[in-house]
């Protein structure tokens, strides 16, 4: 049970009614448009008419310079190298630009660096290799913006460089014929949020000139552009939305042999795909070969015109994905063990874990899983000898890229986005990095975990027609999430295990209406609530035909106790962690930590009656007294019990396993060093408002 603040989007019902009347739309769809900020005539018409207008690519800085140099290379039959990256974005960007230049009669090759031996982006060894291959022009896709030293080496060797990237530029741009990155400070193009493959597609548009056939280009490349854009988790808004919509229409009927083979192996060939399908089937398989295997195989798969080769490559890549899952699971457990052995890290604002020879290909995935587990930013580092490389993921409200910029002197290389980033540093600096990034985190506001709901719904209004009305808002993804609805004050009536006990079917009631909801990947033993609990549910809706009729399905994404005072709980959690880090406290914070005799008695009596506890401490507090005691006091009291030998505590993310201990003698809790320390803070006057 993660502590989050549930926020319901604002809704102007009168304006929604006007939209419904003016455009002849069902009120539910008009309401969703108003909630999502789609209120202007141009926005609504673009959405409903499914227009896919893309801005002029020449509005991007340096685009004309790139086009001029590439045309010169094509005309002179100079050897061109497309230098990509090993993830789904970089692979698809490489595939489309390589295919396009080859179709233009170009003398073109591609190069994908190996994650283990070379790492992300341009490297000196690769530059020298390309020089020995008589390459005259290197074009990067999905990388290059931070390759200042490598760009100088390209120039020294007499080659030219064009950078196309979408990552944030640092202070110095690389020396190149053209640096195409919508995030450049001097770039005035209207849309900035492309993935690397989106920038590569804009370059192809520009190479086609002013008389380009944009629809024809989309027909040729939008399937791969969609896969790369979805894979890089960039916002599915604006031009990205247009690119992905066009690609999703093509994917189920793509004539690209490698992609068809991959879809067949994933079990989705011939199905109408959405962004979620692609994100969970195609993208991990393409990523796997860059994480585990030989990364250029994914490009070979996507450009292959040989059915036998495509089939063999797709099978190998799916095998890589299975192996990746195994390595990921092992490394994740190692990271959890690392935190278990260093319990003080649990209270850091940013988690930093490191291991020797951890596989570089999965540390980013493990970082994402740790963020989900602990609800705070995380960086996972793998070191070997004197060198270390790390990958980080963040939470909403904390820019990981800004955090890394604050301690950039510790790195040999770094880059990324607010939500994800990578670093390279010497092994001896890992501990200094842990301290530096947490020092930065202490200087900015603590991010408050937020769950955003589109609106609340009454159970009586749920019908099988609603999911179909939402299709106009697709594709769903970053910055355009699948609609999430709130069903509040729902009384839990029945818990039924399904799917061999791996999932739950839950029956709720409210105002005389009964609603069946599905809770996936939760066993009855893991489910924290009891029949009779009143819960708030965050749900998504779907409808499928069954025996000729549409049947509504309601899927639970998150739930919480209806009477939960989230703001008070979050304050208690932050206060407790602040104390555990040894930071100064205000008087109110110190008092909020101190349990009294009645608090101790209530907790101990409850734990004895229950035979311990192995669920969320949030739920423990609610079961104790509805939350009156306060979360910080509860956690402090549990620490005191553990200090005095009355119980043991083992944390597993947001869950705590508590077991009472047998004691032969009476224990005076108020002799606890923890209580003495907090009281000392008050008496010394060290804590003040």
pLDDT band at 50 (very low <50, low <70, confident <90, very high): low
Q: Which two tokens stand for residue 281?
A: 């089937």
Specify the pLDDT at position 1.
Answer: 56
Cα–Cα distance, 675 to 637 (Å, whole number): 9
Residue 443 has which token pair?
């200087």
Q: How far is CA 379 from the centre of its chain?
A: 13
Question: What does the DSSP assignment read for 430-464?
Answer: HHHHHHHHHHHHHHSPPPPPEEEESEE--GGG--T
User: Could you identify the residue written with the tokens 């192995």?
Assistant: 614
What are the tens digits of pLDDT across the range 570-590?
999 999 999 999 998 988 899
Distance CA 140, CA 130 (A): 13
User: What are the CA-CA distances from residue 68 to residues 112, 198, 544, 670 (Å)?
Assistant: 25, 20, 52, 78
d(CA 129, CA 297): 19
pLDDT in tens, 296-354: 899 999 999 999 999 999 999 999 888 889 999 999 999 999 998 999 999 999 999 99
- 47: region left, alpha or beta (phi > 0 left; psi from -120 to 50 alpha): alpha
Q: Is there a contact between 665 and 564 (Cβ–Cβ < 8 Å)?
A: no
Q: Is the pLDDT of residue 109 over 70?
A: yes
Q: What's phi and psi for 427, nearest 5 deg?
A: -55, -40
Query: Confidence class of residue 100 from pLDDT cuts 50, 70 and 90?
Result: very high
Average pLDDT rounded to a whole number, residues 418-434: 94
Question: Are 509 and 491 in contact, with CB atoms under 8 Å apart?
Answer: yes
State yes or no: pLDDT of 51 exceeds 80: no
Token pair, residue 174, equals 């690389």
pLDDT at site 179: 97
Q: Which of 400, 381, 383, 399 is nearest to 391 (CA)?
A: 381
Residue 163's pLDDT is 98
Q: What is the pLDDT of residues 485-532, one digit of tens each?
A: 999 999 999 999 999 999 999 999 999 999 999 999 999 998 999 999
Query: Tens digit of pLDDT for each residue in 627-674?
Result: 999 999 999 999 999 999 999 999 887 789 999 998 878 899 999 999
- CA–CA distance, 470 with 207 (Å, rounded to integer): 37
Please answer whether residues 539 and 546 qualify as being in contact, where contact means their C-beta atoms are separated by less than 8 angstroms: no
610, containing H or E segment? helix 597-610
pLDDT given at position 6: 94
Locus of tokens 């930590």: 593
pLDDT at residue number 119: 74
CB-facing half-sphere around the CA of 509: CA atoms within 13 A = 7
Rounded-to-integer distance, Cα 473 and Cα 32, Å: 9
Peptide bond into 294 cis (omega under 30): no
Question: Given pLDDT bands bounded at 50, 70 and 90, which one contains residue 687?
Answer: very low
DSSP string, 22-89: HHT--HHHHHHHHHTT--SHHHHHHHHHT------GGGSTTHHHHHHHHHHHHHTT-EEEEE--SSHH
Task: Give pTM, 2 decimals.
Answer: 0.82
Beta-sheet pairing, 655-660 with 647-652: antiparallel
First to last CA, the chain: 31
Count of CB atoms situated within 10 Å of the CB of 650: 12
8 Å CB contact between 169 and 140: no
């Amino acid at each position: 049970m993660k502590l989050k603040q549930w926020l319901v989007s604002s809704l102007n019902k009168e304006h929604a009614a006007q939209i419904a009347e003016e455009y002849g739309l069902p009120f539910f769809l008009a309401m969703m448009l108003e909630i999502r900020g789609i209120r202007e005539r141009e926005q609504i018409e673009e959405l409903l008419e499914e227009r896919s207008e893309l801005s002029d690519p020449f509005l991007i800085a340096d685009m004309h310079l790139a086009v001029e140099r590439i045309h010169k290379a094509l005309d002179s039959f100079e050897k061109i190298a497309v230098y990509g990256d090993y993830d789904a974005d970089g692979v698809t960007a490489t595939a489309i630009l390589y295919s396009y230049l080859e179709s233009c009669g170009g003398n073109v090759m591609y190069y994908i660096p190996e994650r283990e031996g070379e790492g992300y982006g341009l490297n000196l060894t690769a530059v020298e290799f390309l020089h020995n291959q008589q390459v005259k022009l290197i074009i990067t896709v999905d990388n290059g913006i931070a390759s200042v030293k490598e760009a100088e080496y390209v120039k020294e060797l007499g080659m030219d460089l064009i950078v196309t990237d979408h990552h944030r530029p640092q202070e110095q741009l690389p020396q190149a014929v053209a640096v195409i990155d919508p995030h450049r400070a001097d770039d005035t193009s209207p849309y900035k949020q492309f993935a690397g493959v989106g920038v590569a597609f804009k370059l192809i548009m520009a190479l086609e000139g002013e008389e380009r056939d944009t629809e024809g280009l989309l027909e040729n490349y939008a399937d791969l552009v969609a896969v790369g854009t979805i894979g890089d988790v960039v916002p599915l808004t604006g031009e990205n939305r247009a690119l992905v919509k066009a690609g999703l229409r093509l994917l189920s009927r793509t004539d690209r042999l490698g992609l068809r083979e991959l879809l067949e192996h994933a079990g989705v060939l011939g199905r109408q795909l959405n962004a979620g399908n692609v994100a969970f089937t195609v993208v991990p398989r393409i990523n796997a070969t860059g994480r585990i295997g030989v990364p250029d195989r994914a490009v070979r798969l996507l450009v292959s015109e040989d059915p036998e080769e495509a089939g063999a490559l797709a099978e190998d890549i799916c095998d890589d994905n299975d192996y990746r899952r195994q390595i990921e699971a092992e490394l994740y457990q190692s990271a959890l063990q690392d935190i278990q052995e260093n319990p003080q890290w649990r209270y850091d604002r940013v988690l930093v874990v490191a291991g020797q020879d951890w596989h570089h290909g999965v540390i980013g995935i493990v970082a994402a899983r740790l963020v989900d587990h602990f609800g705070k930013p995380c960086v996972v580092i793998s070191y070997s000898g004197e060198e270390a490389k790390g990958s980080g993921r963040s939470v909403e409200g904390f820019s990981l890229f800004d955090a890394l910029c604050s301690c950039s002197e510790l790195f040999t290389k770094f880059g990324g986005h607010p939500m994800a980033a990578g670093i390279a540093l010497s092994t001896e600096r890992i501990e200094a990095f842990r301290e530096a990034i947490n020092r930065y985190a202490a200087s900015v506001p603590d991010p408050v975990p937020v769950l955003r709901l589109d609106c609340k719904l009454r159970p009586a209004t749920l019908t099988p027609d609603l999911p179909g009305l939402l299709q106009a808002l697709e594709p769903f993804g970053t910055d355009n999430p699948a609609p999430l609805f709130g069903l509040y004050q729902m009384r839990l009536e029945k818990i039924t295990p399904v799917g061999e006990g791996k999932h739950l079917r839950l029956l709720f009631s409210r105002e005389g209406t009964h609603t069946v909801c599905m809770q996936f990947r939760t066993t009855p033993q893991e489910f924290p609530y009891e029949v009779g609990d009143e819960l708030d549910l965050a749900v998504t809706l779907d409808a499928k035909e069954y025996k000729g009729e549409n049947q509504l399905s309601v899927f639970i994404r998150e739930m919480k106790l209806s009477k939960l005072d989230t703001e008070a709980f979050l304050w208690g959690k932050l206060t407790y962690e602040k104390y555990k880090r040894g930071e100064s406290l205000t008087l109110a914070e110190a008092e909020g930590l101190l349990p009294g005799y009645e608090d101790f008695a209530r907790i101990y009596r409850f734990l004895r009656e229950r035979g311990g506890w192995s669920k969320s401490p949030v739920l423990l507090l609610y079961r104790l007294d509805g939350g009156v005691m306060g979360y910080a006091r509860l956690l402090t009291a549990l620490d005191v019990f553990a200090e005095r030998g009355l119980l043991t505590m083992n944390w597993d993310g947001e869950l705590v396993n508590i077991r009472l201990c047998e004691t032969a003698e009476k224990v005076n809790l108020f002799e606890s060093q923890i209580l003495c320390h907090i009281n000392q803070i008050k008496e010394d006057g060290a804590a003040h408002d």
